[in-house]
Structure 1
C-alpha cells in the first residue's frame, strides 16, 4: 500500500478556500480516481510544536492506493482535469510525496 501526500505550503500571500476544497475538489478527486483510491484524509493545520513559528503546511491531503502503478495509471487519465481545478481553491502549487505505508 502506498500513500500520496499532497502538501500545501504556508506563505504570507497564501489563499486557500477550504469550503471549495472539501465540497467540490475532493469529491471530484474521489469520483475521478474511483476504486483505485482506497482512502483519503484531509488535514488542516492548526499549530506546530513551536508556538512562535508559522506552520510549514496549511493543508495536507493523504490518499492511499494499492501501488504506485495504480495511482499513476488512474492519475494519468484525469490529471488535466484535477490539476486545472487547483486555481479554484488556492494560489499555491502543491508538493507531492509518495510513501510506502509500513504499519
Structure 2
C-alpha cells in the first residue's frame, strides 16, 4: 500500500511540476506579445468605401517593410491587420486594413518620416486608392 501511495505521489509531483513549467512558459509567451506602456503607436487606417481597392500582399511584403526600415532602432514592432467584418452584423466593413508602428519616441519617428514623406506617399498607388487616416497614440496598457 505504501509503495502505491509513493508511486501516486511521484506521478502527481511530476504532473504538477510539468504543469507549472508549461504555465510559466505560456505566461512568457503572452508577455512577449504585450506592448509596453508608454510606447507611441502610429496607426494608419484605410477606410472601406465602394470602389476602393487594397493590395494586402504588396502592403505586407513591400510598403510596410519599406517604412519600417526608415524607423531604425526607434521601431519596436509593427502590425498589419486585414479588415474582415464590422462589429455590427449586416453593416459595411469600417476599415479595409490598419497598419501600426510601435515606436519609442515620437520626435524620432517624425524625424525619420519627414524627409521620406514624398517617397512614402508615392508608394500608395502601388497598393491602394484610399487616403489613409493616421492616429498617433500612447500605449496606456
The normalised TM-score by structure 2 is: 0.69
* Equivalent residues in 2 for 1:53-72, closer than 5 Å: 53-72=91-110
Distance of 1:9 and 1:18 partners within structure 2: 14
Aligned residues: 103
Give unpaired runs (5+ residues) of structure 1: none
Q: Bigger relative contact order, structure 1 or 2, given CA contacts below 8 A and separation 6+?
A: 1
Question: Per residue, is there more helix in 1 or in 2?
Answer: 2
Give unpaired runs (5+ residues) of structure 2: 1-38
* Equivalent residues in 2 for 1:92-103, closer than 5 Å: 92-103=130-141
User: 1:28 offset after TM fit, Å?
Assistant: 0.8
The normalised TM-score by structure 1 is: 0.93
Question: Per residue, is there more strand in 1 or in 2?
Answer: 1
Where does residue 84 of structure 1 map in the other structure? 122
Aligned CA RMSD, in angstroms, stands at: 1.1
Runs of 4+ in 1 over 6 A off after TM superposition: none
Deviates more, 1:43-52 or 1:89-98: 43-52
